[in-house]
Structure formats: structure tokens, C-alpha cells
């Protein structure tokens, strides 16, 4: 029986890959990260069932999937006004130490759930999601983000 992969090893690999992207491409490295979300979502779209094109419905399917695979404990989300999506992420994944280290170094970040979700909203719902830079907050048990949604023209 194969042993389960060690989380510390995954953290080292995640850090090394994203550090290399940051060093080699600088800010352009974000293009790699956003594209990776599109590629992952192309595979997930074949695997998951999306009942309709409503952003909240799409988010629910993805939130359930991310919890099922252990990336997060849960994600709660709600629309705030007509076009603002706010969500709380509980129990961030074990790659969090790598994210914090890269963030301190101003590198590109392995925000896997963000890039996958943004790709899904674009492809299924035809909306662009832009982070409200004033909104990200870290609490003791969860992080909160707010995205402004707009139709893709």
C-alpha cells in the first residue's frame, strides 16, 4: 500500500514552483497562475455537474468540491448587492504556509481556489470576477474575500 504524501513535502514543492515562477517571470508570472486555473477548470468541468449558469450555483458546486478534496473545510458565500460576491473560506489548505511565505516575498501566489473559480465564472456564467482590494480580511478561523462581478462584453 502506498503511503499518503507528506504535507510538508507538498508545501516545499508548492513554494519552490511558485518561487521559480516569480523569479523567472516576475509580475508576468500571474499569467501562468490564471492560465493554470483555466486548465484545471477544463478538467473539472468534465467531472462536476453544474445545474445552471447562476454564479452562486457555480460557486456552490466548486465550494463543495474543494471541501470534498480537502483543500478547505468549507466555503460560505453570498451576494452583497447586485454584483458583489462575498465569501468566507474556512480551514485553508495545508499549503497556507507556502502562500504566506510567498506573499511576504511579493511573489505570485498559489491561490488555487481563486483561479479555478474565476475561470469557472468566466466560462459558465460569462462574468468577470475582480477582487475588491479593500475587502480581503483574515479572521482567527477564516478568511473573507469580496469580488465584483461584471458581464464579459
Nearest CA among 68, 33, 32, 34 for reference residue 48: 68
pLDDT in tens, 1-45: 888 888 899 999 999 999 999 999 999 999 999 999 999 999 999
How many structural domains comprise the chain?
A: 1
Q: Are 76 and 88 in contact (CB under 8 A)?
A: yes
Nearest CA among 3, 21, 32 for reference residue 98: 21
Whether this prediction's pTM lies above 0.75 is answered by yes
| 83 found inside a domain | yes
| 2 found inside a domain | no
| 80 found inside a domain | yes
Q: Are 109 and 99 in contact (CB under 8 A)?
A: yes
The CATH number given to whatever domain includes residue 104 is 3.30.1380.20
* Domain, as residue range, for 48: 7-151
| Close Cβ partners of 50 (under 8 Å, ≥ 6 residues apart) | 57, 58, 61, 120, 124
Q: Looking at residue 30, what is its pLDDT?
A: 94
Amino acid at each position: 500500500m502506498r503511503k499518503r504524501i507528506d504535507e510538508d513535502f507538498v508545501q516545499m514543492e508548492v513554494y519552490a514552483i511558485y518561487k521559480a515562477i516569480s523569479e523567472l517571470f516576475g509580475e508576468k508570472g500571474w499569467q501562468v497562475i490564471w492560465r493554470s486555473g483555466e486548465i484545471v477548470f477544463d478538467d473539472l468541468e468534465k467531472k462536476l455537474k453544474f445545474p445552471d449558469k447562476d454564479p452562486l450555483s457555480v460557486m456552490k458546486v466548486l465550494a463543495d468540491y474543494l471541501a470534498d478534496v480537502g483543500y478547505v473545510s468549507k466555503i460560505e458565500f453570498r451576494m452583497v448587492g447586485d454584483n458583489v460576491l462575498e465569501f468566507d473560506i474556512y480551514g485553508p489548505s495545508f499549503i497556507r504556509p507556502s502562500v504566506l511565505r510567498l506573499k511576504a516575498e511579493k511573489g505570485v501566489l498559489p491561490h488555487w481556489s481563486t483561479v479555478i473559480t474565476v475561470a469557472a465564472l468566466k466560462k459558465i456564467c460569462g462574468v468577470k470576477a475582480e477582487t475588491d482590494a479593500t475587502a480581503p480580511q483574515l479572521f482567527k478561523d477564516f478568511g473573507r474575500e469580496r469580488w465584483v462581478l461584471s458581464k464579459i462584453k
